[in-house]
Structure 1
């Protein structure tokens, strides 16, 4: 059943836009400010070994991207998007505040020492407990706001074209804010003060939260309709219980949408795909009461509920391809920082960029590619072929570019290792090779994200059942979260079975890691091509691919 607005009908629309985009910018700036430079913070301030720091960062990133599915379920099923975003923003504020304290109070971190020294003392259990608590709170806060806020914004508009414009602004704002944190806040952390850098993140969170609350009177709020997952589970249970009952070809034998508490009979029949699930909507003796309402919910479901489950089953193979698509990117995010720490990062004789700032090239590339894709590539494709590129074609281009980026990464790392060996450098010693050799691979992966990330969100928002719209947006985050955890497991496996990733990367073979990721990406790309070829769109909108003059990117 569609969620119905309980606010005034005049609410929503473009009036709400600044009150949703500004919080998105503030909260993203805050999140990027504490997470973008986390590996360097752990190594330099908490004396954590380099690979261990990368693993902790992967787990944190996994939490930030996997937990949004929980926030989406809470928003769809129980509290609504506004309450979930509000509560999560407060939790994020607590976490960032605690992180700021760990940087400002000496007793909350171990004694400083020279990086790599055998005399370095690691953090105590109490210090780790405070650090991990702060990271957990901040991660939960990000998870509950990022994609729930996106869905809440889309809920303010009725037309898919307007929703598409909002999503474009949303992603542009996200990348620009992340760019600001990676450039500005990370620089302050590395060259001025960790406490000041985290403090700016705290202030950005406060401002974002204040603007979000200020716009409360303008929002169109959708009333939660209860957990859709319970209804989907009912379909499976009812199907199993009626598995031996003969299916009917008559529409009146199936349960339609309930009308005013009564079961409506007559109308349509379920589709023939995954036909065995149609048993759940088949009305048998004892399923309904005398007034026509459903007597046993776990024995009888509506046709719509059956079709909702079918929609999820149809799209699940494509969803799984996203996991191995994002896993190489997740691994690259951590490994790039370690490589940059062991390379020359100077711009001129006096200025040195931060290792965590290397990801700026991904942000620049993605933001620029979004503009080029929407303004030039899609119109040109449509002019040449008379049809706009489908969402799956855009995602497929993202797959291919990600594989290319991993291959370039392997070649660059092989070059870095050859330079290190030519100068007889070991451990994590700085190699006389510019870190800007890594820019091409970052630019390529950024363009790939511009093709596949908005495409994935649009695909799931379009193809998921209406009762799962918030969940649909969070499914992309869930993919990325699983990818971060999978990347952590892969790195652990490689460390235990090979010598490719020692603490001193000059003594390892990180190039082999990238070649493995290239091969995995190629296999996954082939799997995606098969899945996309077999998939049939369920909810194509006439103006889905229409370019809008309002599109900012």
Structure 2
């Protein structure tokens, strides 16, 4: 991360305006912020309450509903990489966001119709009866199309907007501020939708989903209105083909000895002269052969004659940067997996607990997740205004992305421990009251007991979400900037599918997760996740200890001799 002085938001903006006559800069932020707010409010409004909608309206069993939600969440979090490929390779970020926002609106409109039109949903269960009508194939098909469209819309906007917004700025300091604000707005919008919209949905599903459709439409419209102010990134062709060229070329030249002269390596024409050109790095040295110039590789005009046999040094280094960061990226899969399991299971726990606040108000089960969002928003402000500047004053260096991600690991494990202790208490009360045999029994334990574990998760996310985004945006090749920010959420998508497989495995080999959780041992699942999370944290520490930052962007005013000291301070 670049060295920067942390100041309050108002003070920072004094030097952040874009130059006259140029596109981009902070003038674009209100439009992007409004788009993030509206589109994320729409997406969170239907997705956070999907489990409850499946159980109460479509008569799906509780654990099956969580599994369906896992698949949906996984798709929403994996599809951004597809959107990133289209943005980086073919269309640019703006068209991808614009088209995806249309999908978001269409999906939420169709979802609203499933709640309003009786023929599009099964008949409700009769009171006191365990028999419920299953949805027909047609009803499930309409629901599937609605959720798919809304998922594509959410996936194609959420993190592509992060890349698009960051591309509006030249200075790394400004991008750091943008990422903090982006996540703050994202979590605030999600918190509002998880409370207000979910509350409306519990009263009237049609009205609640209609609000999601309206928010999606308004967010999309404001985003398009800012078009003349944006700096539009141009796709450079598929960067993934260039990475494939490196692998193929290195294999073809595997028997060629590595040269000692810089001139024997191929650099991009016009990109480096003899003074600035450098040989490839020594790490992953076997890939360096892809950049060795041999007879017949280069035409008389200096262009590459055989792209699958010769690459530039920059292309080789780009592939190396991805290979180096992969272990760190893989360690975050199980950072997200316990959190995704906890998110779904917390809704099931809330349905079986006392959710009354006073005699009249009852907290919707899908709303309890908002505690982690509120905790995240509050802690992001604390970090930006107090923690990060204090850290820099005490140590003389910023809190690096790797340290922020590591702290997030610790909070994730701590949250699983607290979750296990709370669930153990809930089960003791259920057994003491002999409620385990009753499928719809409400345990006389306030749902507020679930809040501490969710607050801890929110604090952890305040560390590792911005930390990962900054790390990938900084370390990935410039041509893969959309992919870089998408990789953060792709990990979450993979975690949801790992979640699904893990829950299925546990259901098959244990009796911890029956349909009636009062008969199960959900606390044992949380203890298992805590242990696995601790082991994963050890793996992360090993990966982080051997990683060295590569694309560190510093505005250095001192002589070149001081640059190495600055680089070392960041690692």
Specify the TM-score bucket, using the shorter chain as the normaliser.
Answer: over 0.9
Q: Which residue of 2 aligns with 1:166?
A: 178
Q: Which residue of 2 aligns with 1:155?
A: 167
Q: Which residue of 2 aligns with 1:357?
A: 367
Does the aligned pair in 2 maintain the 1:251–1:266 contact within 8 Å? no
Question: Partners of 2:357 and 2:339 in 1: how far apart?
Answer: 26
Give the number of equivalent residue pairs: 535
Q: Which residue of 2 aligns with 1:93?
A: 105
Does the aligned pair in 2 maintain the 1:29–1:204 contact within 8 Å? yes
Q: Which residue of 2 aligns with 1:345?
A: 355
Please give the residue correspondences for 1:521-532 in structure 2 after superposition, counting only pairs within 5 Å: 521-532=533-544
Deviation of 1:177 after TM superposition, in Å, equals: 0.4
Deviation of 1:259 after TM superposition, in Å, equals: 3.4
Distance 1:264 1:205, change over 3 A: farther
Distance 1:491 1:476, change over 3 A: same
Question: Partners of 1:74 and 1:446 in 2: how far apart?
Answer: 32
1:145 partner SS: coil
Q: Which residue of 1 aligns with 2:297?
A: 287
Does the aligned pair in 2 maintain the 1:255–1:265 contact within 8 Å? no
Q: Which residue of 1 aligns with 2:77?
A: 65
Question: Partners of 1:144 and 1:477 in 2: how far apart?
Answer: 11
Question: Partners of 1:411 and 1:296 in 2: how far apart?
Answer: 62
Does the aligned pair in 2 maintain the 1:252–1:265 contact within 8 Å? no
Q: Which runs of 5+ in 2 are unaligned?
A: 1-19, 557-571
- 1:35 has 2:44 as partner: no
Question: Partners of 1:22 and 1:267 in 2: how far apart?
Answer: 44
2:267 partner SS: strand
Question: Partners of 2:401 and 2:127 in 1: how far apart?
Answer: 47
Does the aligned pair in 2 maintain the 1:189–1:196 contact within 8 Å? yes
Distance 1:116 1:490, change over 3 A: farther
Distance 1:216 1:346, change over 3 A: same
Question: Partners of 2:411 and 2:125 in 1: how far apart?
Answer: 41
Does the aligned pair in 2 maintain the 1:253–1:265 contact within 8 Å? no
1:324 partner SS: helix
2:393 partner SS: helix
Distance 1:389 1:265, change over 3 A: closer
Does the aligned pair in 2 maintain the 1:263–1:292 contact within 8 Å? no
Does the aligned pair in 2 maintain the 1:416–1:431 contact within 8 Å? yes
Distance 1:116 1:169, change over 3 A: farther
Q: Which residue of 1 aligns with 2:287?
A: 277
1:146 partner SS: coil
Deviation of 1:266 after TM superposition, in Å, equals: 9.2
Q: Which residue of 2 aligns with 1:5?
A: none
Does the aligned pair in 2 maintain the 1:47–1:122 contact within 8 Å? yes
Question: Partners of 2:545 and 2:109 in 1: how far apart?
Answer: 49
- 1:400 has 2:410 as partner: yes
Deviations 1:1-25 (A, max 9, x none): xxxxxxx961111111111110110
Deviations 1:449-505 (A, max 9, x none): 001110000000011111111110000010000001110111111111111101010
1:255 partner SS: coil
Distance 1:117 1:321, change over 3 A: farther
- 1:210 has 2:221 as partner: yes
Question: Partners of 1:434 and 1:414 in 2: how far apart?
Answer: 14
Deviations 1:100-129 (A, max 9, x none): 000000000001014784310110111111
TM-score normalised per structure 1: 0.94
Deviation of 1:384 after TM superposition, in Å, equals: 2.5
Does the aligned pair in 2 maintain the 1:255–1:264 contact within 8 Å? no
Distance 1:392 1:527, change over 3 A: same
Deviation of 1:541 after TM superposition, in Å, equals: 3.0
TM-score normalised per structure 2: 0.92
User: 419, 423, 430: which is aligned to 2:433?
Assistant: 423
Q: Which residue of 2 aligns with 1:253?
A: 264
Please give the residue correspondences for 1:81-230 in structure 2 after superposition, counting only pairs within 5 Å: 81-114=93-126, 117-191=129-203, 193-230=204-241
Deviation of 1:32 after TM superposition, in Å, equals: 1.0
- 1:243 has 2:246 as partner: no
Question: Partners of 2:290 and 2:21 in 1: how far apart?
Answer: 36
Does the aligned pair in 1 maintain the 2:269–2:302 contact within 8 Å? no
Deviations 1:104-162 (A, max 9, x none): 00000001014784310110111111111111111011010011111001111110111
Root-mean-square deviation over aligned CA pairs: 1.7
Question: Partners of 2:128 and 2:543 in 1: how far apart?
Answer: 47
Does the aligned pair in 2 maintain the 1:234–1:298 contact within 8 Å? yes
Deviations 1:268-293 (A, max 9, x none): 21111100000000011111112221
Question: Partners of 2:516 and 2:227 in 1: how far apart?
Answer: 52
Question: Partners of 1:283 and 1:464 in 2: how far apart?
Answer: 26
Question: Partners of 1:285 and 1:304 in 2: how far apart?
Answer: 21
Question: Partners of 2:275 and 2:467 in 1: how far apart?
Answer: 38
Q: Which runs of 4+ in 1 moved over 6 A?
A: 262-266
Distance 1:264 1:125, change over 3 A: farther
Please give the residue correspondences for 1:533-548 in structure 2 after superposition, counting only pairs within 5 Å: 533-542=545-554
- 1:487 has 2:499 as partner: yes
Distance 1:10 1:121, change over 3 A: same
Q: Which residue of 1 aligns with 2:277?
A: 267
2:311 partner SS: coil
Q: Which runs of 5+ in 1 are unaligned?
A: 1-7, 545-553
Question: Partners of 1:259 and 1:116 in 2: how far apart?
Answer: 77
Deviating more after overlay: 374-383 vs 113-122: 113-122
1:432 partner SS: strand
Question: Partners of 2:39 and 2:490 in 1: how far apart?
Answer: 19
Deviation of 1:169 after TM superposition, in Å, equals: 1.3
Deviation of 1:379 after TM superposition, in Å, equals: 2.0
1:487 partner SS: helix
